[in-house]
Structure formats: structure tokens, C-alpha cells
Chain A
Amino acid sequence: MTDALVLLLVLPFAAVPAVLALGAAGRQAAAIAAASAMAAGVVILAWFAPAVLAGETLVVTTPWLPDWGLDLALRMDGLAFLFALLIYGIGFLIVLYAAYYLPGSDRLVRFLSLLLAFAGGMLGVVLSENVLLMLLFWEVTSITSFLLIAYKSQYHDSRIAARMALAVTGAGGLALLAGLLLLGDMAGSFALAEILAAGEAIRADPRYPLMLGLVLLGAFTKSAQFPLHFWLPNAMAAPTPVSAYLHSATMVKAGVFLLARLYPALSGSELWFAAVSAIGAITFVLGAYLALLKHDFKGLLAYSTISHLGLITLMFGLDTPTSAIAATFHIINHAVFKASLFMVAGIIDVETGTRDMQRINGLWKYMPITAALGIVAAAGMAGVPFLNGFLSKEMFFAETVAHPRFEGYGALILPALGVVGGLLSVAYAARFVHDVFFNGEPIDLPRTPREPPRIMRLPVEILVVLVVLVGVLPQLVVGDLLETAASAVLQTDLPPVKLAIWHGFNLPLVMSIVALGGGLFYYWRRDRVMTLHERLALEISSPVAFERLYAALAGGARRLVARLDGRSLRQYAGLFLLAAVLLSAWAWISAGSGGLAGPIPARPPDPAALGALAALAAGALGATILHRQRFVAVIFLSVAGTVVALAFMRLAAPDLALTQLSVEVASVVLLLLVLAYLPQRAPAEPADGRGLRDALLAAAVGGGTAALAFALLTRPFETVSAYHLAEAKPQGGGTNAVNVILVDFRGFDTLGEIAVLAMAALGAQALLAGLRLAPRVSPADSAADRYPVMLQQLMQPMLPLVLAVSVYIFLRGHNMPGGGFIAGLIAAVAVVLQYLAAGIAFAEAKLRADFVRLLGAGLAVAALAGVASFAFGLPFLTSGYVYLRPPLLAEIELASALVFDLGIALVVVASVVLILTELGRLSLAAGRAPPARRTAPAGEAIAERVPAAAEA
């Protein structure tokens, strides 16, 4: 059962690749695949039917992100069943219809896959037990419907309409997200079962009005309620199968589904009654009024859809159990007759080549069967007796009479509204029937209409049969379904409802008769209404207003971005740092953590610390003040770096001291290499006040960090390191806890980090590839002292020695300070010194190493060391170790982590050497080829030969 429920949701998504694959074989195969998926869904539902109709509720929950309250939770109950049936059942008919509707040249495969993805999104909305999951699928429907509306993307109108629908429903989705988060907070859970049971607490919460407003905004945008209804008529730019599916049976129904689903949690307050019924009533009447005035019959159907959705909303808003049942019933009825009407409209569109009711007339003579189907469906929509629409409208009329919230003359408001809306509905249905099928002869049609292919009419026939069957035998056909669905909506026992055609001669029947007669009369005198309408121009042109608002918002956003984004690194960095300072300050102040100093007394500094601080200050400030004299600045910088290394040494971190020292050497080489291509002195900055501003920001960042560090150091803390220290030897087989953490406890982190290092090196190599820069120091000038003899002579014998040290550091690293990172850095420095001493050409000829491959090899070794533990049935990167006692040598401990450490060392060597040699190679390339872009003015090179230090 649970598997079937998951399958029910996954089925349409799973069918998408099948349709795409079969699409290559032809459109027929793709259509069959899509139709089979829909049909399979109906079959699964039929299998669920006995249990669901018996009143069972099935919930499946798999935790996904439990900390966020987001679970993969599905629910199958009467309401979910009803909607799933509409989605799959009408979806099946739509697929059949679309296969014949879309001309051969169209991209049917794309259409069908989008339709299936949309159906999957809808199923997700109706089957979700977790409201956040529901929202996720809600957004899926917004996006897939955008793609479906924009299906004819070559037309401007389609693109505008799709964008409008996405903007409106997407904004609604955001509001809904906020609303559902509030709702979950109020109910204490995001699970529907708990939310629906917490109605009392939710309504008593002071945030209830805000939450209700946000949720309703989501529901009303989706179901096109006034004043957010304007996107729906525009969405008629989509192909008719899309309109028939999305804009009658499914997508817009998601809005009313939300009202139904959350009914027990949200309804039952004055606010619900006022907001929902008022918006519903306005939409109901306005939609019906505007529908009559449309000359495009698809436009007529679109406004009629708006009107019917308004009616459903109004019924939920009336907030009595029986009105909720009537609303649920009308959801079914509207889906059936409106889908068939849209399909009829599509047939007429294809057969006549136009949708203008001023030209299409008298089709009865040309396509009698289609006409008969259309007339029955339209009569169902108008609420003619013995058809489905009559029953739900009758129930609505019964609700309007004697509504408990109205008394005296006020009690007349609702029945009057109902009759006016019903009357207008009859009028536009009459117009559709009369104008299209009768009313003389067609005028100037692009082609002569005839009956469509039999199979294209089949889906319409099935739906129209349902219209009649529900109308004649309501209790038998939908009684049980409606009862289970409505009890799922109300979450309580139902008042007894018996669907019947004849309730005796009562007030609702009189209202129906008045609406039918009045509607026909109104239609007969429609010319006056139209003239009046045109004179008053009542219709507010929402799309134009929307486009204006949209353009204004987009323009504002662009101006804001232009102001914030000066395309300047300085500005980015400044804003970023400023934001960091402000956020930290805010956090500090709002936490109210008291004074700067914590409970632990600060110790006075010893003389060595003071000396180090002075050296550090000299280095940092020297580099800062003299930053324009670049060579000097590098020397000051290296002073600061060395003090940092000494600080690590003093503060019991020998590994860090070794790492910092070797990185310092590589950094200085790097910076000096760059100076070969840059001017040795930076130009003076214009005195524009930036300096002062930046100094203030720098003082804030520096002062803030110092304060943070001091506050941190004087407060007690708890560390997880006790475990690492205790288990370093027993589990990791090494006494150097830092190294054991790196290669063992947190080895996966380290693997990621060396991958980042490798990416940085490869990225740098890619950036420098093919770059030609003329060195600032001309080769001729530096020829004299290019490779100092002393260094050259010293380095050659030094290389094997340094490499031996590196191996030693590597091997002892698991127990004593050292390890792969440090060994790799030392080896890299040794190799780079060879380059410096002897020149690139010489060193390359001698070393013959491809550092890119070495990089890859290092990563591979590290990864394989991790994979190897799978062979022992252990998780990734589990290490083991053995002790060997070879003769003549001391005890050797062989840990598998050593292999991993070797990978680290290789990556580090390769990365550092690769970067530095690529930089050195630039000048080589420039020396061989003439400089491409940059030519230094004569004399400049000589000027720069004067060491900057001497000028300082």
C-alpha cells in the first residue's frame, strides 16, 4: 500500500524519460507511453478505492530534513483521492486529445513530457502530508505551467503570458511559503495530521490574521481570484489541451485544493468568512459578467473559469459544513464540464481556423455531433436540470438562503448575489451555444468546418457522458466519492447529505428558474449591455497595469544593482567587510554578553611576546605604509609571516610553525616573481577621501577582530579534542594528534582540501596558459647577475639533502611534528630553489617531471587509500596499522594512513611547483616571442632596475 502511494506520485516523473526516449521512435510511441502512465495512475487509484471509500487515511512518512520539519510524507485520503483521480483521469483524456490536436510539426514529445512533469507536480501537491513538501510541489506546478503556457515560445504573446503567470503564481508561492512556515510554527508541526487537529490553537494565535492573509494570497493567485485573476485569460495563449488541463481541471484547482485541505485549520473565524466569501463573491460575479463580453470563445471560457473558481471559493468562505460539501461537489462538476468545453473549443478552433464568435456561426450544420456535445456541456455549466452543474448550483442556492451569519434584510444579500451570478452564467453559456452553433451562417472562415477525427472527439464524449450521468444519477455515480472527499475536507462526521435531483418545490428551485429565465433574457438584450460596457469601459486593463508594474520593478532592481555593483573589487570588498563588521557588532550588542573581558583573568605578556608583537607590528604596518614600494613591502610582509610562525612555535603548535615557515618561503618567491611583471612602485592615489574611509573601515575590522580574539581567549570553552588526544595512539596509531586528525579522524576533510589546492593550482595554470607578459627587468640587464654562482653551486648538492630531510619529516609525521603537508612543502621549496638557482630550462631538463600528472597521481593515491578500506569491509578512509621490526632498523610503524599522507605530499609538491614554474615560464615565453600587448617605454626598464629599497 505504501509502495503504491509512492508509485502514484513518482509515476508521471518516471514516465518523462520514457516519453523522451520513445519520442525518437515517433510521436505515436511517445503518446502511447504518456497515456499508459496516466492510465496506470487511474488503475492504481482504482486499487486504492475500496480502502479510501471506506474512510481510511494512509500516511507514509520518511524523514528527509527533520531539523527543518521537512519530511517526505505522503497522505492518501478522500480529498487526495478525488484530486488524484481528476489529475490522472482528465490527464489521460488530455493526452489522447493532444496527440490529435497538435499538428504533426509541433514538438509533441516536449509537450507530453512537460505535461507529465506538471501532472507529477500536481500529484505532489495533493498527496503531500507535509505542508513544506506540498509547497515544493506547488512551485513545480508553477514552473512547469510556465513552460507549458510558453509552449509556442516563438510568439511574443505566449512569452508575455507565461511570464505574467509565473510572476503572479510565483509571488503567491512566496507568500504561501511564509504563510505555511507561520502555520507550522503555530501548530507545532508541518505534518497535516497535526495542523488539521490544531485548528483551535491556530485561530487563537495572534499571528492568525497575518498567516491567513499569506496563505490566502497563495491560494488566490493560483486560482485566479480577483484582483489577481488577470493572468488566467492571458494564459489562453497556450495550446488548448494546456488550457483544458491546467486552466480548468488542475492548476487553478490547486488554489481551491489548498482551501479545502487546510479548511479545518483555517476556517471557522470571522476573518475567514469575510475575506474568503467576499473575494469569492466578487470573482464569481465579475468573472461571469466579463465572460459574456468576450468575442474570443476561449476568452469566454477563461472568464467563466474565473467565475466558477470564485463560486467554489465563495462556498468555502460561507463556512458551513454543507457549503464545504457543495464546494467539493462543484470542484468535480466544474472540472468535468469545463475540460470538455475547452476540448470542444479546441476542435472548433482547429476546424474553423478562428476563435472569433462574431465570425463563427451556425456550426450545427457542419459538425452536429461536436455541437451536441458542446451544447450539453455548456448547459451543464449553466446549471440546466438533469446535468451535473445544476446539482451543485442548487446546493449553493440552498446555502445562500438562511445563512446563519445574516439576519433581517441582510439575509437577502447572499441569495441576490447567487441569483445575479447564476443569471450571468446562464447568459454567457447561452452566448457560447447560440453564437457558435446557431445564429445564421459562418462569416468568412479560413476553412470549411467538418467533424473532427473520431478519436479526437472520444475524450469529449466520455466527459459529456459523465456530465449527464452525474446529473441524472448523482447518488449512484459520485455519492460515495463526494462523501469521502468532503469528510476528508471537514475532518469530522458529515451531516447527512443525499444527492437527489428533486428536493421538492422550494426556494433554491425558484432561484434556479429565475437565473435560467433571467439569463436568457439578459442574453437576448446583450447588445445594450455591450454598448453600455464599451461606453463605460468598465474593464480595468489589468495586463497593462501589470506590465507597467513589472517594468517599474525591473527598472528599479536594475538601478539598485547598478548602485551597489560598481563592478569594482574595492567596492565589493569594502561593502563585504562593512557588512561583516555591522553584523558582528549587531550580534554582540543584541546578545548582551556584557564586557569584553570574560571570567578567565588575562595573563600579563612576557618580554618575548612583547618583542614578537613589536616585530609583527613593524612587519604589518611597514608593509601597509610602504605598500607602494613593492619590493620593500614584500620584505616587511615576510617579517610578519615569520613572527606568525614563531608564535605557532611558542604556542605549542610545532606542525603549524613548520608549515607556516615553508609556506612563507614559497609565498615570498611567488610575490617576487609577480614583481617581475608589475611596476615596482605603485602610482600615488588621488586624494579623494577614500584613504580615510578605508582607514576607518580597517580600524573597525582590526579592532573588532582584536576584541573578538580577546573576548574569546578570556572565556572558558569546551573542546571535542579530548577524544582526539585519547584515541590518537589507540585508534590512529600515531602520537602526533594533529597529523592523526588530518590523515585519519578527519581524513575526508583533508581529501577535500587537497582537491581544492589542486584546483587552485590547475586554475592558475589555465589562467596563465598562453599569456605573454614582458618582464619589467630586461633580460639583457639581468644577464650579468642572472644565476648567482654561489647559489647555483650550493643548490646542486643541496637538493638530495633537502629531499632526504623531506622524506624524514614525512615518515616521522605520524608520531612527531611533520607529515605530508610539511614534507611536500619542503620538497617543493627545494625544487623551486633549483629553478631559481639554475634557471627554468636547466632545471626542467634535469628534473623531467610533469607536475600536472604528479598532481593527478597524488590525488589518485589519496583517494585509493580511502577506497582500499572498502576491501576490508570498512567505511571510506578507515585506517589500520602494523608494526614492523626489520633487522638493523628501528621499529617502523606502517599505517595505511601513510599512503594517504603520501598522496597529500605529492599534491602539495606538485601544486606549489606547478604554480611557481608556470609564473617563471611567463618570462621565458615572453623572451622567446615578442611581447604581444604590452610594450614598456624605453628607459623605464632601466629606471626600475634601481632597487626600490635604496629609495626608501
Chain B
Amino acid sequence: MEAAVALGIGLLMGAGTWLVLRPTTFSVLLGLTLMAYGVNLLVFVSGRIDRSVPPLTLKGTSGWADPLPQALVLTAIVISFGMTAFFVALALRALGETGTDRADGRRSPAAGEGEEGP
């Protein structure tokens, strides 16, 4: 179980990293979203995954999962959405100002201004 969770987090981070390093803004956007999934999961599982009762302290229940990482990650999910949205606005602004969707704001020598290939 632990290995599967760790593997999943690693997959998200690896895929996110590769996408963040692509030259166009949209790929960076995809990459950031994947990395956010990975980081949120990592922080979340730092509360361990061996307890299956949600942290609702209702009568007659016990063995609750750790609520603190959950609270931290809950806001992190919302904030990563805010960050993604901000990055979207930045990317569109850059597109409007420079006419290209390359993350460096420079026209690619090989592929024109980020247009479709033939």
C-alpha cells in the first residue's frame, strides 16, 4: 500500500517536472497542476495512511486519521487553483504582449511563433 502511494506521488512529480520544462506556457500549466497534485498528496500522507476513520469525532468512533495535514492540504488545494489561475492570466497576458505562447516570451527559431506545424 505504502509503495503504491509513494509510486503514485513520484509519478505525478516526475510527469509534472517534465511538463514544466517544456517550452510552451500551456505545458507548464499542465505540469504545475500535476506537481500540485503530487505535493498535496505528499503533505497529506505525512499524516500516515494506516487509519481509515475520517477525523470526525463522533460518538462511538475512534482511531481517527490525522486531521492536521488534511487541514493544511485543504487550503493548499484551493490555493494551488488560485496559483494556476494567476499563471493562466500571466500566460495570456504574455501572449497578448509578445504574440507567442513560449514560456520564455521569445519566438522559437525553429517553430515560428508557436504556431501549429504543417
Q: Which A residues fall within an 8 A CB radius of B?
A: 567-570, 573-574, 577, 602-606, 609-610, 612-613, 616-617, 620-621, 623-624, 627-628, 630, 633-634, 637, 640-641, 643-644, 647-648, 651-656, 659-660, 663, 666-667, 670-671, 673-675, 677-686, 690, 694-695, 697-699, 701-710, 712-714, 717, 719-721, 724-725, 728-729, 735-738, 741-742, 746, 749-750, 753, 756-757, 760-761, 763-765, 767-768, 771-773, 815-817, 821, 825, 908, 911-912, 915, 918-919, 922, 932-934, 940, 943-944
**Residues of B contacting A: mostly:** helix
Q: Are B2 and A710 in contact (CB under 8 A)?
A: yes
Cα distance A647–B77 when bound, in Å? Answer: 14
A contact residues around B7 at 8 Å (CB): 613, 706
Q: Are B92 and A674 in contact (CB under 8 A)?
A: yes
B contact residues around A647 at 8 Å (CB): 5, 8, 41
Q: Are A709 and B6 in contact (CB under 8 A)?
A: yes
A-B contact pairs, 12 of them (CB 8 A): A603-B1, A623-B34, A640-B12, A641-B33, A644-B41, A660-B77, A683-B24, A706-B13, A756-B79, A912-B81, A915-B89, A922-B92
Cα distance A295–B55 when bound, in Å? Answer: 85
* Smallest Cβ-Cβ distance to B63: which chain A residue: A652
Q: Are B49 and A757 in contact (CB under 8 A)?
A: no
A contact residues around B42 at 8 Å (CB): 705, 708-709, 712
Give residues of chain B (37-82) contacting chain A, Cβ–Cβ below 8 Å.
37-38, 40-42, 44-58, 64-68, 70-71, 73-75, 77-82
Q: Are A908 and B33 in contact (CB under 8 A)?
A: no
Q: Are A702 and B15 in contact (CB under 8 A)?
A: yes
Q: Are A670 and B88 in contact (CB under 8 A)?
A: yes
Cα distance A609–B13 when bound, in Å? Answer: 19
Whether A663 contacts B2 in the complex (CB less than 8 A), given A577-B17, A679-B101, comes out as no
A contact residues around B49 at 8 Å (CB): 651, 713
Q: How far is the CB of A621 from chain B (nearest CB, A)?
A: 6
B contact residues around A671 at 8 Å (CB): 29-30, 33, 88
Cα distance A651–B49 when bound, in Å? Answer: 6
Choice from B56, B65, B75 contacting A651 with Cβ under 8 Å: B65
**Residues of A contacting B: mostly:** helix
Cα distance A900–B73 when bound, in Å? Answer: 19
Q: Are A698 and B117 in contact (CB under 8 A)?
A: no
Q: Are A702 and B10 in contact (CB under 8 A)?
A: yes
Q: Are B26 and A630 in contact (CB under 8 A)?
A: yes
A contact residues around B16 at 8 Å (CB): 620
B contact residues around A724 at 8 Å (CB): 67-68
Q: How far is the CB of A334 from chain B (nearest CB, A)?
A: 60
Interface centre among A570, A617, A683, A760 (most CB of B within 10 A): A683
A contact residues around B41 at 8 Å (CB): 644, 647
Q: Are A641 and B68 in contact (CB under 8 A)?
A: no
Q: Are A573 and B92 in contact (CB under 8 A)?
A: no
Q: Known pairs A644-B37, A683-B116, A697-B21; list 18 more (Cβ under 8 Å).
A: A568-B104, A568-B106, A570-B22, A612-B8, A620-B16, A647-B5, A651-B45, A651-B52, A654-B54, A655-B74, A656-B77, A679-B101, A704-B10, A706-B9, A709-B10, A712-B42, A756-B79, A934-B96
* Smallest Cβ-Cβ distance to A719: which chain B residue: B66
Q: How far is the CB of A148 from chain B (nearest CB, A)?
A: 43
Q: Are B27 and A713 in contact (CB under 8 A)?
A: no
Q: Are A767 and B93 in contact (CB under 8 A)?
A: yes
Chain B 75-113 interface mask (CB, 8 Å, partner A; 1/0): 101111111111011111101100101011010111110
Cα distance A686–B108 when bound, in Å? Answer: 9
Cα distance A934–B92 when bound, in Å? Answer: 12
Q: Are A570 and B21 in contact (CB under 8 A)?
A: yes
